[in-house]
Amino acid sequence: QILRPEFGGVVSRAIAFEHVIGCVVHASTWTSEPGLVEHKMGQGLIVGEPAGGTSARGNALGAALQQAGFDVTVSADVRRDIWYKLWGNMTVNPVAAMTGAPTDRVLDDPLLLAFCSAAMREASAVGARIGCAIEQQPEDRHAITRKLGSFKPSMLQDVEAGRALELDAIVTVVREIAQRVGVATPNIDALLGLARLFARTRGLYPG
């Protein structure tokens, strides 16, 4: 079930669920100007059936994308792959947006690092309740982020460009799922409240 359909449910009404294949993108890009996306690094794609398992169409899509030059993995559990990326993205991304700092400076601040780790542990508990358990610890994910060097996450790029922030897809939905499954998320709540007000005062989030 989609808890918070994007664009008021326009996508889900236009595209039936049976025509959807999940995908996780592992690539760094930069929108330098309207209509122009510059590729910085990474060509990884993970595709899979939303309900899990493998299928002929999933394998065919993976093969086509591989032929086009992407590094493709066809996953039997793309929900877990999506949750893992969300787990690693839901803290540093909005914190960077609010502070204006690139990823390395966020992780170099011990107080922010502890805050991000606490929120990630809450998200791990939520994932365990919905069949998307994460075996890593927040520190493991921070180490992966550090290897990418200093960069501006997507939300910080959006702030600088005056674009609406994707808070619902990255933070709000985690809190909503947590409420459904009965997991307390005080750090995620604080993160959402801060980021939401930050965005609203700049006209980058409705309300």
Local confidence pLDDT in tens for the 207 residues of the chain: 444 545 567 777 888 888 899 999 998 877 777 888 888 888 999 999 998 999 999 999 999 999 999 999 999 999 999 999 999 999 999 999 999 999 999 999 999 999 999 999 999 999 999 999 999 999 999 999 999 889 899 999 999 999 999 999 999 999 999 999 999 999 999 999 999 999 999 999 998
**Which H/E stretch holds residue 33?**
strand 22-33
**Active-site residue flag, 85:** yes
The secondary structure of residue 7, as a DSSP letter, is G
Q: How many domains does the chain have?
A: 2
* Domain stops at, among 76, 111, 136: 76
For the chain, the straight-line distance linking the first and the last C-alpha, in angstroms and rounded, comes to 25
| Position 28, amino acid | S
**What is the model's pLDDT at position 15?**
86
Do residues 137 and 91 share a domain?
yes
Long-range contacts of 133-138 (CB under 8 A, 24+ apart): 133/80, 134/83, 134/84, 134/87
Instruction: Report DSSP state, residue 72.
Output: E
Boundary (domain end) residue, out of 44, 76, 108: 76
Q: Are 175 and 190 in contact (CB under 8 A)?
A: no
Q: Are residues 35 and 114 in the same domain?
A: no
Q: Does residue 188 share a domain with residue 139? A: yes
Same domain, 55 and 115: no
Are residues 152 and 110 both part of a single domain? yes
Contact 71, 99 (CB under 8 A): no
Supply the range of the domain harboring residue 37: 1-76
Of the residues 40, 85, 147, 152, which is catalytic?
Answer: 85
For residue 170 the two structure tokens come to: 């990255």
Of the candidates 56, 51, 55, the one whose C-alpha atom is nearest the C-alpha of residue 79 is 51
Same domain, 66 and 84: no
**DSSP bridge partners of 73:** 46
The pLDDT value recorded for residue 34 is 81
Q: What is the bridge-based pairing of β-strands 36-48 and 71-74?
A: parallel
**Of 32, 54, 76, the domain-final residue:** 76
Q: What is the pTM of this model?
A: 0.88
Bridge partners (DSSP) listed for residue 83 = none
Both 94 and 45 in one domain: the answer is no
Q: What is the CATH number of the domain that holds 22?
A: 3.40.50.720
Please list the alpha-helical segments (H only) found in 4-161.
Answer: 10-14, 56-67, 78-89, 92-99, 103-108, 110-129, 138-147, 154-161
Q: Which amino acid is at 128?
A: A
Residues 89 and 164 in one domain: yes
